């Protein structure tokens, strides 16, 4: 401390500054002169980036969290749901002990699940091996000391971990979050809605909300957010179209579901239309037995990529849409899946004269199949009514009010009656028995479900004079594809929906084949679903799947002709003609009563081979090979010759020149066709 006197400052002297008077304002990235010295200024974005790095501790927590999430995701994907599915299948097999058919079906399901799990693990092991190889390559390069490669590899590894470990920020958009301006600097990439944008969109529709779970990017690149509303989720779901518009999306790109209470909304957002491209049926990729009662039949997929399954129990089904709307493909998915469950008796009534359902007849999968014939359909409804009474008597003896899983085979299976283009049979003036037939259909729709008799109706004329309210109201499962008006949409889905903010199948923009509003009572509501792509005309997929279904049914003793069918017996008694498996020629034309014997079946199958190959003759060896692949795995050429002789086809004959062979022996299509009974 000093005691020297203080000299006051002369206030008349100018104050010294470190910057010249009237100096120009500095510009980012330029240099500014300071008392003879030049100093480069730092751009604001660089300062902000450095601050962000320091605030997040060099992103070390992000990297650690990211690799933990990746490892957990890989492990979860490796296991998936297969152990649980295998355990469920084993439990079903154990419960089926004593029932040979059910036990065989359950055992086949266990083996299928195990095979699927092995294939799934191989795929994931290959993925893990690829990552391990990449890591090993990086470690090798680092060890050898290649700095030009070390630095990019290290940055890539850190970036990958940080990306997957980034946190979500509530109330403001994370500059490093997917969809933010920082991550999408390029023109033409639509920004992902941030938390505030979602709240603003809700407010625009009259909803106030509090964010419970902020906007989060999912592994499939979609986004989810959870909000507590001041109104019910049901009220918000009725305004899904308006919400999609407020968020600059189409309806298929937005989904709303209920959270833990009635006012908590899970909102799902996609940057792309999930229905834009087609998807193959999973049955084409991995055919297998199906438990249609418990697991349902895969018919399509929903907004979130989930497989949509329809249970075959306690519900009638109505599918409607204009020509080329894809309703036929939707029905084909349902039929093919149902064919994989031998407990289901398929009764197919075609609405057109073409061969849309011939594959099911040729394979013997269709218990009944005939082309347009109103009188025969009337006889079929009468047979079903009689059988319903028989089934109800058995249920009464068992002390039950409706079919249960343990009574399916006791009652004779589930009757699935598919009536295609129902307008052919129910439109006013279509035929003399129209009113009587319509009355019987409405009665079956009202009282037959409990007995295990289920209707599937399709129409391109969804009008009340074709599908009366008494008929449509009893169809619990409804699939409305593209129609011409809101009135037609309401005929399928229910009156009052279109025009009041509910689903309207006349407003698809753009319309896509197989896309429709599906009311699935087992899933709890109406939502968009598109049917899987299943083609017969060009790829022959239905025929291939029916071969598999025929084997399942043959092993269970449920192929057409293998069991006493009361429905076909009634039809034979009423008309004198059989439509089992499509009639004697298996083409939807009923013929003389009586089930074909094994020789007739063999000849029919040889004819199928020749027809499918588009030839009028074939040598014995390729014929045997084709029959082995499709129906007779143990067939030898010598045994084939014996069976053909027993069937009345004689021995192989000379065929004339085929390829390089001058005169090989085999069988001719014309000769075999002439052997068929009239």
Binding site, annotated residues: 321-328
Q: How many CA atoms lie within 13 A of 389 on its CB side?
A: 5
Beta-bridged to residue 319, according to DSSP, are 458, 479
Q: How far apart are CA 365 and CA 344, in angstroms?
A: 10
Paired tokens of 430: 């279509």
Backbone angles phi, psi at 548, to 5 degrees: -65, -45
Beta-bridged to residue 60, according to DSSP, are none
Q: How far apart are CA 479 and CA 464, in angstroms?
A: 16
Q: Which residues contact 308 (CB under 8 A, 6 or more apart)?
A: 298, 299, 300, 301, 302, 518, 520, 523, 529
Q: How far apart are CA 562 and CA 547, in angstroms?
A: 16
Pick out the residues of the known binding site for ATP.
321-328
Exposed/middle/buried for 661, CB within 10 Å: 0-12, 13-18, 19+?
exposed
Cα torsion through 534, 461, 434, 431, rounded to 10: -90
Q: Where are the alpha helices (H) located in 251-373, listed in sequence order?
A: 282-285, 327-339, 358-362
The candidate with the shortest Cα–Cα distance to 673, out of 588, 609, 578, 620, is: 609
How many other β-carbons are positioned within 10 Å of the β-carbon of residue 271?
A: 16
How many other β-carbons are positioned within 10 Å of the β-carbon of residue 287?
A: 19
Cβ pair 325, 481 in contact under 8 A: yes
How many other β-carbons are positioned within 10 Å of the β-carbon of residue 572?
A: 20
Q: How far apart are CA 427 and CA 434, in angstroms?
A: 8
Paired tokens of 592: 């003389």
126 SS3 class: helix
Q: Which residues contact 326 (CB under 8 A, 6 or more apart)?
A: 481, 482, 512, 513, 514, 515, 516, 530, 531
Cβ pair 503, 497 in contact under 8 A: yes
Paired tokens of 22: 């009237």
Beta-bridged to residue 368, according to DSSP, are 347
Q: How far apart are CA 253 and CA 506, in angstroms?
A: 18
DSSP 286: S
Give residue 109's Cα distance to chain centre: 20
468 SS3 class: coil
Cα torsion through 62, 65, 71, 75, rounded to 10: -140
Backbone angles phi, psi at 529, to 5 degrees: -150, 145
């Amino acid at each position: 401390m000093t005691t020297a006197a203080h000299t006051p400052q002369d206030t008349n002297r100018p104050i010294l500054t470190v910057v010249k008077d009237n100096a120009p304002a500095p510009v980012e990235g330029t240099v500014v002169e300071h008392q003879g010295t030049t100093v480069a200024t730092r751009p604001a974005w660089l300062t902000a980036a450095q601050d962000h790095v320091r605030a997040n501790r060099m992103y070390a927590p992000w990297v650690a969290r990211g690799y933990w999430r990746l490892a957990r995701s890989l492990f979860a994907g490796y296991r998936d749901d297969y152990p649980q599915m295998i355990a469920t299948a084993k439990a079903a097999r154990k419960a089926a002990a004593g029932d040979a058919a059910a036990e065989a079906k359950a055992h086949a399901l266990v083996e299928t699940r195990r095979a699927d799990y092995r294939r799934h693990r191989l795929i994931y092991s290959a993925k893990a091996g690829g990552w391990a190889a990449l890591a090993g390559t990086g470690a090798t390069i680092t060890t050898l000391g290649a700095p030009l490669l070390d630095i990019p590899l290290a940055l890539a590894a850190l970036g990958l971990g940080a990306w997957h470990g980034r946190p979500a920020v509530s109330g403001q958009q994370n500059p490093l979050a997917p969809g933010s301006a920082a991550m999408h600097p390029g023109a033409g990439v639509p920004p992902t809605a941030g938390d505030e944008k979602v709240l603003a969109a809700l407010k625009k529709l009259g909803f106030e909300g509090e964010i419970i779970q902020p906007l989060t990017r999912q592994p499939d690149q979609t986004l989810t957010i959870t909000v507590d509303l001041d109104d019910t989720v049901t009220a918000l779901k009725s305004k899904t179209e308006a919400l999609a518009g407020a968020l600059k999306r189409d309806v298929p790109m937005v989904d709303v579901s209920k959270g833990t209470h009635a006012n908590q909304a899970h909102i799902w957002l996609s940057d792309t239309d999930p229905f834009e491209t087609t998807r193959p049926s999973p049955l084409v990729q991995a055919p297998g037995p199906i438990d249609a009662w418990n697991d349902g039949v895969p018919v399509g997929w929903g907004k979130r990529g989930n497989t949509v399954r329809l249970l075959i129990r306690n519900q009638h089904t109505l599918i409607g849409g204009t020509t080329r709307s894809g309703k036929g493909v939707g029905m084909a998915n349902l039929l093919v899946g149902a064919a994989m469950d031998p407990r289901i008796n398929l009764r197919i009534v075609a609405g057109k004269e073409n061969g849309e359902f011939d594959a099911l007849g040729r394979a013997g999968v269709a218990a009944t199949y005939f082309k347009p014939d109103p009188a025969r359909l009337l006889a079929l409804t009468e047979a079903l009514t009689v059988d319903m009474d028989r089934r109800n008597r058995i249920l009464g003896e068992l002390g039950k009010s409706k079919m249960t899983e343990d009574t399916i085979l006791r009652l004779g299976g589930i009757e699935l009656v598919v009536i295609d283009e129902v307008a052919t049979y129910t439109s006013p003036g279509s035929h003399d028995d129209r009113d009587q037939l319509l009355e019987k259909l409405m009665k079956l729709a009202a009282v037959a479900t409990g007995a295990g008799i289920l209707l599937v109706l399709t129409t391109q004329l969804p009008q009340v004079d074709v599908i009366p309210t008494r008929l449509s109201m009893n169809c619990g499962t409804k699939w409305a594809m593209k129609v011409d008006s809101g009135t037609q949409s309401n005929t399928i889905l229910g009156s009052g929906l279109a025009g009041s903010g509910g689903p309207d199948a006349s407003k698809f923009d753009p319309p896509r084949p197989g896309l429709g509003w599906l009311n699935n009572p087992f899933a709890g509501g109406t939502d968009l679903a598109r049917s899987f792509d299943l083609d017969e005309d060009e790829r022959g997929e239905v025929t291939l799947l029916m071969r598999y279904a025929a084997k399942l049914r043959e092993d269970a003793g449920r192929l057409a002709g293998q069991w006493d069918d009361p429905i076909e017996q009634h039809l034979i008694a009423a008309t004198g003609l059989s439509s089992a498996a499509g009639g004697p020629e298996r083409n939807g034309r009923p013929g003389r009563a009586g089930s074909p014997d094994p020789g007739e079946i063999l000849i029919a199958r040889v004819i199928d081979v020749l027809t499918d190959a588009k030839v009028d003759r074939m040598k014995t060896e390729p014929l045997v090979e084709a029959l082995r692949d499709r129906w007779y795995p143990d067939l030898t050429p010598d045994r084939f010759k014996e069976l053909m002789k027993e069937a009345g086809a004689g021995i192989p004959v000379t065929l004339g020149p085929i390829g390089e062979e001058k005169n090989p022996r085999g069988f001719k299509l014309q000769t075999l066709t002439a052997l068929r009974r009239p």
